[in-house]
Structure 1
């Protein structure tokens, strides 16, 4: 006798002497079966529970298990959806076709497809979607354990000393309202805002200014030149513009022989060059 082939005391009476009802083994198992989502879910469970090869399903065994499930559920007066009965008929049809020799196509000389392959494809597709669903559920469960940056577990309506305000309307006064408003403000963490202002100076805007200064001075000490600018940004942009002008040959940087730590800025060959000549 197959492990799942046992007589059921709860199954409907059957007068056939050899008739047996195929049902699951334990009552704990019965309770779980009622939670399955459909016939494919049950069949997939049978395959995985008995570690069957899904590509070579023993159709006799899995049909017996499935019919046993239906018999048991009907014995409990549990109404089954039509899809369960449809699957039962499909299994019986496949079981019957397995008893017949498979036909050979005269044109291609190929043997008729295994009758079980239709069921195999359905089970594989169902398993793929079920695995994906379980993976998504797991991801949602893991995401619920995480908190986004800036999450504040403490209720901002509480005072810093832990005292909580009574917000019920029955004792509401203007003082309580002000007190509540103040506590909310204290619980809000200020956000640091970094304003982005447009740049007033760029190396390009400082080119003409530098050339104009050197044009007037003829020759000017570097430190004196930089002191003409007020902000750090203005000094940085002017310094970059000076280097670019020197690289292009419009300005020269001359070191003082007596003091190598000092250098001067002048027009090339000490000629007067304006921005209009660039």
Structure 2
């Protein structure tokens, strides 16, 4: 066969007769091999090899889990286990495991040996000495282990039913824009002092030549300030002292304002440094 003819055959081996096509299958033309048979072309759809898919109806976490399942499924009394039936069913399952995973079957085989030993001890006739010694049930240790395992398994299911973070629920998160939060600058004591000195300076412009004794009440001035603030949302610091008369009245009025601020009945605010100071009623949530 000429080289050109061989190349043509390699590109399309179906053109040869069936006998020649079966005998002429070079390795360079095979895409893959399945059970020793060459695959010449890529599958046109999804290809699943035989024995590639297995379905396990029951999954167990260990020999005790399997043994407990066999007992509970047939409603056997766990304190009086029929060892012959349970051992037979257990060995059938172990045979299936040995066909697929020999390493996993080792732990199950150990339990199978223990079941066979218990079954054998129950079948052996007891001697007179053993009857007098009142030998215990060979199944006692196995029953104890099964009861402990079942108790732990029930507790594990109960713990798993408790809602868990990031599995059953998530914590809500709220993002607040900083620009939406009002910021009020704190009033400096020096600014309040300068405002007070300015009020004192203006109050000295009014001079009285008649000296008389005057009784002033801080509580009355506190009530007067509250009445004045109820009619206005904000009152400028200097306007709060308008029409108060001489220095004694202004001093008492200022002390009344400080008492109201101390009792958190009014708020003294300032928008920015060196800005006018305003007085308002304190906010009280309903």
Q: TM-score, normalised by structure 2?
A: 0.41
Query: Which has more radius of gyration?
Result: 2
